[in-house]
Chains A and B, each alone.
Chain A
Amino acid sequence: MKAIFKIALGIIAAIGGFLDIGDLVFDTQAGALFRYDLLWAVVLGTIGIAVYAEMTGRVAAVSGRPVFDVIRMRLGFGMGLVALVASTIVNLLTVAAELGGIAIVLELLFDAPYSMFVFAAAVALVAIVALLPFGGIERFFGYGGLALFVVVATAFHQEPNWGDVAAGFVPSLSSSSLYLYFVVGVFAAALMPYEVHFYSSGAIEEGWTEENLKENRLNAIVGYGIGGILSVALVVVSGYLFHPLGVEPNDLGTVALPMQGAFGETGLLLALGGMLFCVGGAAIDSSFAASYNLAQFLGWEWGRYQGPRKAPRFTASWLVFLLLGIAIAESGINPVEITEYSVVFSVVALPLTYLPVLLIAGDRSFMSGHANGPFATVLGWLYFAIIIVLAVAAIPLLLATNAGGG
């Protein structure tokens, strides 16, 4: 009974932690520009992260290998280094975008300059990481992120034409490069690599073994599945409010407007509060992911569970990545823009980190009886094909649409 309770808490934390600034930005803009037409892309991306996370969690639990151990083993030093550099750049951009996102929300809630909040956010994150154990950190941000269910409530409150909403789940393609750009963006925002880097290392931080495989599957499928509902809700509420007005939300304050419209001040505060927690959690996840990847690739000691004395280089690298994130966030570039680049570049780098995991997850000599079955194999390779297509299309579409600006 206690085990079920613990697993349920983990799933709840995964739900609350599902969204980050990439989802907030792309889902809201997708709804504003195309109303419900991109809902199928949200679902596609959500299933994708569930597939990818389940595989990496299983690999970590069964073989003790986190993602960048797998990458170094399967790609070797040279190509592995390419994957490391690409992932580090993407993760750094993500850290900066999330820190910027925290600062923007704080700026909306309180009256103080953005640049101060970026720094304050980083300091607060360091304090939280130093004071809480690993599982506590995830739960802290995950539960806070649940406030974003106000978005789901808003969707029902708005009473959209549910027939139109349902139609959005049917895949459709358009020759409009702006539409295709958002297909890529919405999918990529759901399938950010740092989430998986963090998830697999987190499995080892928590000491997962083969006994945790069921929990892994529930986290990935139920946790991320229900988390996907939050993404869907964002598109719906934004589509309902902004599409008829022809408004394109370009900052995070606008993201919260539908909730204020539906539930007044309470709706606004729940929305902003939920955003604060999910973006804060993502800042930790992405900065940790950068350090995990570096330490695992080079063979250093690593892990929050080790502590700074036993894993000094890992800990120092985490602080350096946070500092670099602060520098980028403070550079004057709009965090929403940083977000767009981090999301688009991450899908370009995604094949490099996805393929080795897929190969090892299907390799019986590494997985001793828990290798990919036929269903996981088909799904895994199908998503690899999708990822390749999107990775190739991403940068041309970014340039063609001027990063969604049209």
Chain B
Amino acid sequence: MKGSGEIYVVHRLLDEQICDSEGKRVGRVDDIELRGDPPRITALLVGEGLYPRRLPRHLARLARRIGGPELWGGNALRIPWEEVDELAATVKLRKKAEDLGLGMGDDPKRWIVRRLPWN
């Protein structure tokens, strides 16, 4: 990753917009994976499946019931920390969205998007 120094993880990294190498918007940092002692950031987590984690407990249970479980590869995606190129106004990634399985919601090949009238 380019640059060095300290960042406030919750203030500047969590909830930040993620863009792929071509500048395409592909979601936000919905959660951050920390491993080890002392904890190090190992991955960024993205997806609607992670929203219940961010809600207070009772709402979380309701949200989980409505939205379903976390489906890794589906509504929850893991971006290894090594894929992050730069932290600027957005989190810039090294690769294109398709290579990381991101941006599927706006992907013209997804079935619902294909059915939209202008596609």
Task: List residues of chain A with CB under 8 Å of any chain B CB.
Answer: 63-65, 69, 72-73, 76-78, 80-81, 298-302, 308-313, 315-316, 365
Contact = CB atoms under 8 A, between A and B. Distances in A.
Interface in B13-36: 14-18, 24-28, 30
B65 to A, nearest CB: 17
Given A72-B15, A301-B103, A301-B106, A77 B30 contact: yes
Given A64-B89, A77-B55, A315-B116, 16 more contacts: A76-B15, A76-B54, A80-B15, A81-B55, A299-B25, A299-B26, A299-B46, A301-B25, A301-B106, A302-B25, A308-B116, A308-B118, A309-B108, A309-B119, A311-B106, A313-B106
B116 A299 contact: no
B118 A76 contact: no
Max count, chain A CB within 10 A of own CB: residue among B30, B56, B106: B106
Contacts of B30: 77
A309 B117 CA distance: 10
Nearest to A72: B15
B71 interface: no
A64 B30 CA distance: 20
Contacts of B25: 299-302
Contacts of B89: 63-65
B100 to A, nearest CB: 14
B62 interface: no
B113 interface: yes
A282 B51 CA distance: 33
Interface residues of B, number: 27
Contacts of B118: 308-309, 315
A122 B89 CA distance: 36
B106 A299 contact: no
B15 A300 contact: no
A44 B24 CA distance: 41
Interface string B40-51: 000000100001
Nearest to B107: A312
B28 A316 contact: no
Main secondary structure of the interface of A (DSSP, over half): helix
Nearest to A310: B106
B74 interface: no
Contacts of A302: 25
A80 B56 CA distance: 13
B28 A298 contact: yes
B28 A78 contact: no
Interface string B95-117: 00000000101101000010010
Nearest to A296: B17
Contacts of B14: 76
Contacts of B16: 73
Closest 8 pairs (CB-CB, A-B): A299-B28, A77-B54, A299-B27, A64-B89, A301-B25, A312-B113, A301-B106, A308-B118
A66 B22 CA distance: 20
A300 B105 contact: yes
A271 to B, nearest CB: 37
B21 to A, nearest CB: 15
A313 B17 CA distance: 16
Contacts of A310: 24, 106
B107 to A, nearest CB: 9
Given A65-B89, A312-B116, A313-B106, A78 B26 contact: no
Contacts of B106: 300-301, 310-313
A300 B54 CA distance: 18
B15 A77 contact: yes
Nearest to B31: A77
A78 B15 contact: no
A204 B33 CA distance: 31
Contacts of A65: 89
A69 B54 contact: no
A41 B118 CA distance: 46
Contacts of A301: 24-26, 103, 106
Contact of B15 (A73, A308, A315, A365): A73
